[in-house]
């Protein structure tokens, strides 16, 4: 009898709303993982899981004080997470606002245009590395770099290897500081970046490398450094410095990190690109 009653209650509307409910939860979790992928927030999720497991175990064995301790950590941890992960939270909200959270990768300029831009970048880096011309090139991703762009000299130039090289020629007015790339244009040159105070950076590296690490600590930007001293190519992203990479490795990294944007369309609405 009870089974009949149960089946009567489970009507089509309930089934549909449960499926929609599940799909929404699944999609929100998917978006969260997309935003956090490759960030230090993944470590945080692991930490939270460990605390939850610890709490369940202590609750199971009736360890009242230990359970209370875990509860307190979880309560205050929520506030701490917001403070510590403020850049990630901001980035996620920015993505939500500009709709890029809902876009799949792969949109954008045609493959040939992307290849041409990457070729120009690789050609200029090869030229500068060979001649030990120091360079610092930052690629904007999801976090806006407006604050740093404003410290430099506006260029708004198309990307060509000639212009890239010219900007970094020593003793010219634009060579000092960082170049910032926004999509397929050189937004600015001679920008000032925040310096990292990390003690993990080798002592023989100076402020150019520290600035590259610095910007990767406070934004999701990808940065290429050519050393004036050695001609070595290094990159920074997600607070990490990878030294002495080859041009092939750089090409692969650019394919992942360089957001070459599609041409702007008229209008747009809430989720239009800014």
Ligand X SMILES: Nc1ncnc2c1ncn2[C@@H]1O[C@H](COP(=O)(O)OP(=O)(O)OP(=O)(O)O)[C@@H](O)[C@H]1O
Q: Where along the sequence are the contacts to ligand X (CB under 6 A)? A: 134, 136, 176-178, 192-193, 195, 205-209, 211, 227-229
CB of 181 to ligand X, least distance (A): 14
Nearest to ligand X by Cβ — which residue?
206
Cα dihedral sign for 77, 194, 35, 226? Answer: negative
CB of 144 to ligand X, least distance (A): 18
Helix axes 111-131, 247-257, angle to 10 degrees: 140
CB of 143 to ligand X, least distance (A): 17
Give the C-alpha separation, 17 to 1, whole Å. 25
Cα dihedral sign for 107, 113, 116, 121? Answer: negative
Q: Which is nearer to ligand X, 89 or 195 (CB)?
A: 195
Task: Give the C-alpha distances (Å, rounded to integers) separating 191 from 147, 195, 248, 254.
Answer: 10, 12, 27, 21
CA proximity to 32, closest of 93, 79, 80, 75: 93
CB of 178 to ligand X, least distance (A): 4
Q: Which is nearer to ligand X, 183 or 214 (CB)?
A: 214
Q: Which is nearer to ligand X, 98 or 210 (CB)?
A: 210
Contact between 191 and 199 under an 8 Å Cβ cutoff? The reply is: no
Segment (H or E) for 27: helix 12-36
Q: Which is nearer to ligand X, 91 or 208 (CB)?
A: 208
CB of 179 to ligand X, least distance (A): 10
């Amino acid at each position: 009898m009870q089974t009949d009653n149960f089946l009567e209650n489970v009507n089509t509307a309930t089934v549909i709303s449960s499926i929609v409910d599940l799909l929404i939860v699944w999609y929100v979790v998917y978006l969260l993982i997309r935003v956090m992928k490759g960030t230090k927030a993944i470590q945080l999720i692991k930490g939270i899981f460990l605390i939850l497991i610890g709490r369940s175990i202590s609750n199971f064995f009736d360890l009242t004080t230990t359970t209370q301790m875990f509860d307190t950590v979880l309560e205050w941890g929520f506030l701490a997470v917001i403070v510590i992960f403020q850049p990630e939270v901001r980035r996620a909200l920015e993505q939500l606002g500009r709709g890029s959270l809902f876009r799949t990768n792969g949109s954008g300029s045609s493959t040939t245009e992307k290849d041409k831009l990457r070729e120009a970048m690789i050609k200029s880096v090869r030229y500068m590395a060979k001649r030990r011309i120091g360079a610092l090139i930052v690629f904007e991703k999801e976090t806006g770099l407006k604050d740093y762009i404003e410290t430099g000299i506006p260029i708004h130039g198309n990307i060509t290897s000639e212009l890239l090289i010219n900007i970094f020629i020593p003793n010219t007015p634009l060579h000092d500081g960082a170049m910032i790339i926004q999509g397929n244009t050189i937004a600015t040159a001679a920008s000032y970046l925040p310096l990292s105070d990390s003690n993990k950076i080798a002592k023989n590296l100076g402020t150019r490398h520290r600035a590259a690490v610095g910007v990767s600590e406070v934004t999701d930007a990808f940065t290429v450094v050519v050393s004036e001293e050695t001609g070595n190519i290094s990159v920074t992203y997600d607070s990490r410095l990878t030294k002495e990479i080859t041009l092939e490795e750089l090409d692969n990294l650019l394919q992942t990190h360089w957001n070459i944007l599609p041409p702007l369309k008229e209008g747009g609405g809430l989720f239009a690109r800014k």
